[in-house]
Structures are given as structure tokens and as C-alpha cells.
Amino acid sequence: MHKVYLSLGSNIGDPVSYLDKAVDILKNTQDIHKLKVSSYYQTDPVGYLDQDVFVNISVYLETDLSPYELLEVCQGIEETLKRVRVIRWGPRTIDVDIILFDDIKMTDDKLTIPHPRMHERAFVLVPMFELDDQLMIEDKSIEELMTSVDTSGVRKL
């Protein structure tokens, strides 16, 4: 059974509803088990700043799916919830990213694990810390990683 962390975010329409729908799809996906969902966090935008605040969560799950099969599930959720990619880091109904998948390290045109910018993003680290404050990521504790980012733009709802 593979151990996986996902990061989900939304800032269009009713973000909490989009996140709830995405979690429901994950819960009802064959070969995904033991879902654990963080609290909801309101987060300031990163990269492209001229947009509404986001709501972000982290999801821990266990799965029999391969990384590519899980990527298909994540992209299917984005398609189902009408994600449109217009502006990089711009507004979206839903974003579902694979952050960690066991201890796998891989990079290709379709998928990079661990997520390459997770170390810089408080909106990823804070919800993951809530799920497992003892989590180790590439020989660093999640607590240590959080000390290197500004968490002031991440507020629990």
C-alpha cells in the first residue's frame, strides 16, 4: 500500500464546495483507502497575486494505484470540476497536486515527485504538518521545513 500526500486548492466560486467535491471523488475511487483530510486553510495567492485568496487542504491517503494512475485520478478530478488553465498559478476551481508518494523520487515530462516547489509553499506545508507533525521529507522534518517559509499568509478556517 503506497502512502501519499496530496495538496488541493481552490479560489473560484465556493472553494470549500469544490474541495469537498474533490475529496468525495477521492473517497469513492477504487484502490484509494484511509483518507485523512486536514482542516481548511485560507491562503494568500503565490506567484500571480491579482486574484482572490485560496482555500487549501492536504489529504493523506493509501493506495494501490501507481503514481501515473493516481495522476490520472487527480487530473480527472480537475476535469470533472471544470478546471481551466489560463494563467500560470492563476485562479482555479480546483488544483490537485501529488506532493509525496512513498519515498519515490522521479522526474519526467508528466510527473515530478516529490513536488518540486513544496519546500517553498506554506500553503502545502502547514496542512501537511497538521496531518503528521513527525513527517520526514528528504531527511528533513516537516517542522524544520516550515521554519524556512513565511506562514503568515496561511490561516485556519
Active-site annotation, residues = 83, 92, 95, 97
CA 52 to chain centre: 18
User: End-to-end CA distance of the chain, in Å?
Assistant: 32
Which residues is 127 bridged to in the sheet? none
Among residues 132, 129, 148, the alpha carbon closest in space to that of 56 is found at 129
In the three-class reduction of DSSP (H, G, I as helix; E, B as strand; rest coil), residue 63 is classed as: strand
In the three-class reduction of DSSP (H, G, I as helix; E, B as strand; rest coil), residue 113 is classed as: strand
Residue 112 CA to residue 150 CA, distance in Å, equals 24
